[in-house]
């Protein structure tokens, strides 16, 4: 990634690599993005004449399942990262594959949920609750897809780039991002389903 | 692609041959990308300006056919050569959007930031060169998409650069605006991350934070603002996009009537939500427009007064304070939108507080002039013009921040006058100063001084001629966004001021011709310039002009603060940051 010759030294006060700092800053902007959506949710809910209870209109057991899936995938991606640090390629591949599999599992369950809504003629346009539900979970779903793409790319590149000095950092960055996606869901789940 | 980044490449373009596309189109070099941004954003500024020149005809002579251009436009846009109300709205919306998001921000951050920041901190390139290239290649298609809305079905957006719902949701054309905005915002976000990492992690040895040039500080604060303020607009745009495409009602209340028909939507949304989210971005955005120009002016003033800046710490502190405060003043744009008096008071107070650091910055810069032996060269003239002009812009903002006066002045030409004094006679004047100042570094040649002087005086006089009448118009009660001012009797007495304003707008265009000629002529035929023509102290002048790939011929090391001018008892009146010993 870097085009810089190693001979150049810098006055660095952060003590982290460029890539890691970049990922943290990117996540800061993502926090602002989702914070805006949560704020909009609060404002709309407070201004609404009536607001359905999440558990009455949404499938809580399915979402609960999804919560566990995402938390598990956060653990497995850490294991994958640990495997890179330990230089254990088969272990890395195994855990990365499990992470990707769990992400697909999340999307499939989410798809089943969406399908049930559409079957009951519930669309984003039906009510303001549906609007915020579909928009926030949809945007979160896009982030999950982004994570799948990044993680699959790392899995694919692990053969050719295993010894690349920046590979560890890339896996760590992907892990940070994946944790963020997980945390967003941890906030979305109670806000939409349980309150 | 460019693995041979570093040292001892005097020929200017690295050790190995790069193809034309690698060198000029998909370059990874921060300098080439900076110049790409420079040219592109000036073109967008010119496009946005040309929209305004057409609008000014309608404002000066309502109902008269626009000469030449009127005949070229289709009958639906301009029946009989008179621009229609809808087209006028489109031009207004696109003028604001293009000038702010495609003109000044990319120019101040993408062009000047990209080119100058790595040089000033002694870095060979930005932290993420590929990301840097991607920022540009998102910005350009985003901008072209925005322009393409003129030929796409539905036409361009018509609801102003602020896109207030419900108007923006029921108007045609808004979808392309939103999509383009999402692309442009993403480009800005990538750029902001890149700048922050570069400034935090890639400073040359010895370049501590209290030795950073003010311009770098300005870019640092600007990047934080871009990073944290743009995502809310991105989210807000997504919600508006949903309202338009998926039929949701985030910004639509129940039972809204559009064109005499009940609008089919579930309702339950709040139009005010958009205003809050939009201004939560757009107020920090104002400081994105203003901070880098302030940085440019600081550099030029220190260099041409030949003395250290007055109050380096105050300047830095004020900029950081401005950045923080800019996140909690947004609702002063909404005093008449419907807010509780308590909330109004809060935003009134924060607005008054935020004017303090701006005044502190201006005061520091004015004090810097005191006792200096000032060189009145072209960049310095522009920088000096910035001070009073930005002052007028800032001070006329105070009545808008006070609720009592704002209720009268809100949505009048006074607001337009105020904003343009800040951004045109402020930011753009400073950006022009930056072009004259850094041109020798970019192309190794100087710009012509005589043409520069003509450009300077023409620009300064015309800009004031355009915007000063607007204060009077606004105080006389003239609403903004009117297609035909003469439709209201109370506007008739001030109508001649519109004519004055319009004539100066067209003259301003003529005043830019010497600048354009000067820029391109000097690029190839200008007088050759040495490495450091201004005898400046900061690091960008320590490398060849134009700097080669990797920038510095030897890795720089920094020994002192950025503005060591006129040290007593020395032979020269300046001491560069990378000079180790004090020459006797």
The torsion region of residue B160 among left (phi > 0), alpha (psi -120 to 50) and beta comes to: left
Instruction: For residue B431, give both structure tokens.
Output: 């950006």
Chain B residue at shortest CA distance from A131: B248
Is residue B332 in a domain? Answer: yes
For residue B133, the distance in angstroms to the closest alpha carbon of chain A comes to: 13
Give the DSSP letter string of A133-164: HHHHHHHHHHHHHHHHHHHHHHHHHHHHHTT-
Specify the higher pLDDT residue, B233 or B76: B233
Q: Is residue B449 domain-resident?
A: yes
Chain B residues within an 8 Å CB radius of A52: none
How does B513-535 read in b/e, with b if 16+ C-beta sit within 10 Å? ebbeebbeebeeebeebeebbbe
pLDDT, average across residues A187-193: 95
Classify residue B103: in a domain, yes or no.
yes
| Residue % of chain B over a pLDDT of 70 | 96
Q: From A32, A65, A30, select the one nearest A143 (Cα to Cα).
A: A30
Mean pLDDT of B138-162: 92
Judged on CB neighbours under 10 Å (0-12, 13-18, 19+), A90 is exposed
Beta carbons of B383 and B434 less than 8 angstroms apart: no
B 184-213 residues inside an 8 A Cβ radius of A: 189, 192-194, 196-197, 200-209
Per-residue model confidence as pLDDT tens digits over A72-123? 999 999 999 999 999 999 999 999 999 999 999 999 999 999 999 999 999 9
pLDDT in tens, A130-175: 999 999 999 999 999 999 999 999 999 999 999 998 899 999 999 9
Mean pLDDT value of segment B347-365: 95
pLDDT at B584 > cutoff 70? no
> What was the pLDDT predicted at B583?
54
Residue with the bigger pLDDT between B5 and B144: it is B144
Bridge partners (DSSP) of residue B445 are B528
Phi, psi of A113 (to 5 degrees): -60, -50
Domain contains B397: yes
Name, in order, each residue with C-beta under 8 angstroms of B151's C-beta and a sequence gap of 6 or more.
Answer: none
CB B580 within 8 A of CB B572: no
Q: How confident is the model over B508-529, as a mean pLDDT? A: 95
Cα A73 from Cα B26, distance rounded (Å): 37
Question: Cα angle vertex B83, ends B82, B85, to 5°?
Answer: 125
In CATH, the architecture of A18-194 is Up-down Bundle (1.20)
Out of B189, B205, B250, closest to residue A131 by CB: B250
3-class SS shares of chain B: helix, strand, coil, % to 5: 65, 0, 30
In-domain check, residue B552: no
Place of tokens 């709040």: B270
Which DSSP symbol is given to B104? I
Enumerate long-range contacts of B275-278, CB under 8 Å, 24 or more apart. Answer: B275/B162, B275/B164, B275/B333, B275/B334, B275/B337, B276/A43, B276/B330, B276/B331, B276/B334, B277/A36, B277/A40, B277/B232, B277/B233, B277/B235, B277/B236, B277/B239, B278/B162, B278/B163, B278/B164, B278/B233, B278/B236
- For residue B286, what are the domain limits? 28-542
Residues 52-81 of A with CB under 8 A from B: none
Tokens, residue B11: 């020929």
**Beta-bridge partners for B479:** B412
Answer yes or no: do B277 and A40 touch at CB < 8 A. yes
What token pair was written down for B274? 């958009």
The alpha carbon of residue B95 and the mean position of all alpha carbons in its chain are separated, in whole angstroms, by 13
> Is the Cβ of A119 closer than 8 Å to some Cβ of chain B?
no
What residues have CB less than 8 Å from A5, skipping those under 6 apart? Answer: B5, B6, B7, B124, B550
Between β-strands B261-262 and B257-258, what pairing exists: parallel, antiparallel or unpaired? Answer: antiparallel
Higher pLDDT, B474 or B267: B474
For residue B94, give the CATH number of its domain: 1.20.210.10
Q: Which two tokens stand for residue A115?
A: 């399908």
**Which pLDDT does position B77 carry in this prediction?**
87
Give the residue, B244 or B19, on which the prediction is more confident. Answer: B244
* Helical H segments across B306-412, by residue range: 312-325, 341-369, 378-395, 398-401, 403-409
Nearest to B205 among A11, A25, A26 (CB): A11
Residue B16 — very low, low, confident or very high, per pLDDT cuts 50/70/90? low
Residue B568 forms part of a structural domain = no
Q: Give the number of C-alpha atoms closer than 13 A to the C-alpha of residue A147, restricted to the C-beta side.
A: 31
> What does residue B528 show for φ and ψ, rounded to 5 degrees?
-60, 145
Under a CB-based contact definition with an 8 Å cutoff, are residues B449 and B382 in contact?
A: no
Q: How much is the average pLDDT of B412-427? A: 96
- Report the percentage of chain B scoring pLDDT > 90: 79
Residue A2 scores a pLDDT above 80: no
- Do the Cβ atoms of B502 and B57 come closer than 8 Å? yes
How close B119 comes to chain A (CA, Å)? Answer: 14
What would the mean pLDDT of B472-476 be, rounded to a whole number? 95
CB pair distance less than 8 Å for A3 and B123: no
Kindly list the residues from chain B whose CB atom is less than 8 angstroms away from the CB atom of residue A8.
6, 124, 555
Instruction: Calculate mean pLDDT across residues B249-257.
Output: 88
Lookup: tokens for B37: 């941004």
Q: What token pair was written down for A171?
A: 């896996």
Cβ pair A125, B266 in contact under 8 A: yes
Q: What is the mean pLDDT of residues B50-70?
A: 93
- Length of chain B equals 584
User: Hey, are the CB atoms on B197 and A21 less than 8 Å from each other?
Assistant: yes
| Residue B150 Cα distances to B48, B50, B65, B91, B172, angstroms | 13, 14, 20, 10, 12
- Model confidence at B568, in pLDDT bands (50, 70, 90)? confident
User: What is the number of domains present in chain B?
Assistant: 1
Q: Which of A28, A39, A128, A169 should be substituted to probe chain B, the one whose Cβ sees the most B Cβ atoms within 10 Å?
A: A128
Which tokens is B210 given?
Answer: 């209290």
CA–CA dist B338, A54 (Å, integer) = 31
CA–CA gap between residue B333 and residue B424 (Å, rounded): 20
B432 lies in a domain? yes
Indicate the average pLDDT of chain B: 92
Asked which of A159-168, B264-273, B537-546 is least confident by mean pLDDT, the reply is: B264-273
Write the Ramachandran bin of B307: left for phi over 0, alpha for psi from -120 to 50, otherwise beta: beta
Closest CA–CA distance from residue A182 to any residue of chain B (Å): 19
pLDDT tens sequence across A26-74: 999 999 999 999 999 999 999 988 899 999 999 999 999 999 999 999 9
Residues of A whose CB is below 8 A from B202 = 10, 12, 18
Please state, in angstroms and rounded to a whole number, the distance separating the CA atoms of residues B537 and B299.
10
**Domain spans of chain A, in order of start:** 18-194
Q: For residue B14, name the pLDDT band (cuts at 50, 70, 90).
A: very low
Q: What is the DSSP letter of B483?
A: S
Residue B192 and residue B200 in contact, taking contact as beta carbons nearer than 8 Å: no
The answer to whether B228 touches A29, Cβ cutoff 8 Å, is: yes
């Amino acid at each position: 990634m870097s085009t810089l010759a190693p001979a150049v030294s810098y006055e660095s006060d952060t003590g982290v690599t460029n890539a890691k700092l970049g990922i943290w800053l990117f996540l800061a902007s993502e926090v602002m993005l989702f914070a805006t959506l949560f704020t909009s949710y609060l404002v709309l809910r407070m201004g609404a004449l009536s607001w359905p209870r999440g558990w009455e209109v949404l499938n809580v057991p399915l979402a609960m399942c999804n919560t566990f899936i995402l938390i598990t995938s956060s653990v497995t991606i850490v294991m994958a990262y640990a495997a890179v640090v330990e230089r254990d390629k088969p272990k890395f591949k195994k855990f990365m594959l499990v992470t990707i599999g769990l992400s697909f599992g999340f999307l499939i369950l989410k798809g089943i949920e969406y399908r049930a809504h559409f079957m009951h003629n519930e669309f984003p346009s039906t009510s303001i609750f549906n609007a915020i539900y579909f928009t926030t979970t949809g945007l979160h779903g896009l982030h999950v897809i982004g994570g799948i793409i990044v993680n699959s790319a790392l899995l694919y590149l692990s053969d050719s780039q295993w010894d690349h000095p920046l590979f560890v950092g890339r896996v760590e960055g992907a892990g940070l991002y994946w944790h963020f996606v997980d945390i967003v869901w941890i906030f979305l789940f109670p806000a939409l389903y349980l309150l | 692609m460019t693995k041979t980044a570093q040292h001892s490449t005097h020929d200017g373009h690295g050790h190995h041959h790069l193809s034309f596309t690698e060198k000029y189109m998909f370059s990874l070099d921060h300098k080439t990308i900076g110049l790409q941004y420079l040219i592109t954003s000036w073109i967008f500024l010119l496009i946005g300006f040309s929209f305004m020149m057409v609008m000014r005809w309608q404002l000066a002579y309502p109902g008269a056919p626009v000469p030449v251009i009127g005949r070229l436009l289709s009958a639906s846009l301009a029946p009989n050569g008179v621009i229609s109300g809808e087209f006028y709205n489109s031009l207004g919306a696109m003028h604001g959007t293009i000038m702010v998001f495609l003109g000044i921000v990319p120019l101040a951050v993408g062009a000047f930031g990209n080119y100058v920041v790595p040089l000033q901190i002694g870095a060979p390139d930005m932290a993420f060169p590929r990301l840097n290239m991607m920022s540009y290649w998102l910005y350009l298609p985003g901008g072209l998409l925005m322009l393409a809305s003129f030929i796409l079905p539905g036409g361009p957006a018509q609801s102003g650069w602020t896109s207030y719902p419900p108007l923006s949701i029921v108007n045609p054309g808004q979808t392309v605006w939103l999509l383009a905005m999402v692309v442009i915002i993403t480009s800005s976000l990538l750029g902001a991350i890149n700048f922050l990492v570069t400034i935090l992690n890639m400073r040359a040895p010895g370049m501590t934070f209290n030795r950073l040039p003010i311009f770098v500080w300005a870019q640092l604060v600007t990047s934080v603002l871009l990073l944290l303020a743009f995502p809310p607009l991105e989210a807000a745009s997504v919600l508006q996009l949903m309202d338009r495409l998926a039929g949701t009602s985030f910004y639509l209340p129940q039972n809204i009537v559009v064109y005499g028909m009940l609008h089919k939507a579930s309702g339950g949304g709040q139009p005010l939500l958009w205003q809050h989210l939009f201004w939560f971005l757009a107020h920090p955005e104002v400081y994105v427009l203003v901070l880098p120009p302030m940085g440019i002016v600081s550099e030029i003033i220190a260099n041409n007064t030949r003395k250290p800046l007055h109050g380096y710490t105050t300047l830095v502190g004020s900029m950081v304070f401005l950045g923080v405060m800019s996140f909690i003043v947004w609702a002063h744009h909404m005093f008449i939108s419907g807010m509780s008096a308590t909330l109004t008071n809060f935003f009134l107070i924060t607005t008054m507080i935020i004017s303090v650091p701006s005044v502190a910055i201006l005061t520091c810069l004015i004090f810097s002039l005191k006792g200096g032996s000032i060189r009145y060269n072209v960049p310095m003239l522009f920088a000096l013009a910035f001070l009073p002009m930005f002052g007028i812009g800032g001070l006329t903002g105070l009545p808008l921040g006070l609720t009592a006066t704002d209720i009268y002045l809100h949505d009048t030409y006074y607001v337009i006058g105020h904003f343009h004094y800040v951004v045109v006679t402020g930011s753009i004047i400073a950006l022009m100063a930056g072009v004259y100042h850094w041109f020798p570094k970019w192309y190794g040649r100087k710009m012509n001084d005589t043409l520069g002087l003509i450009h300077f005086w023409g620009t300064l006089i015309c800009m004031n001629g355009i915007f000063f009448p607007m204060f009077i118009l606004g105080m006389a009660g003239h609403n903004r966004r009117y297609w035909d001012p003469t439709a209201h009797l109370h506007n008739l007495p001030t109508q001649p001021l519109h004519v004055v304003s319009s004539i100066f707008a067209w003259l301003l265009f003529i005043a830019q011709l010497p600048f354009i000629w000067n820029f391109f002529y000097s690029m190839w035929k200008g007088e050759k310039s040495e490495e450091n023509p201004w005898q400046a102290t900061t690091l960008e002048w320590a490398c060849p002009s134009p700097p080669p790939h990797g920038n510095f011929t030897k890795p720089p090391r920094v020994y002192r603060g950025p503005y060591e001018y006129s040290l007593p008892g020395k032979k020269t009146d300046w001491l560069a940051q990378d000079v180790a010993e004090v020459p006797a």
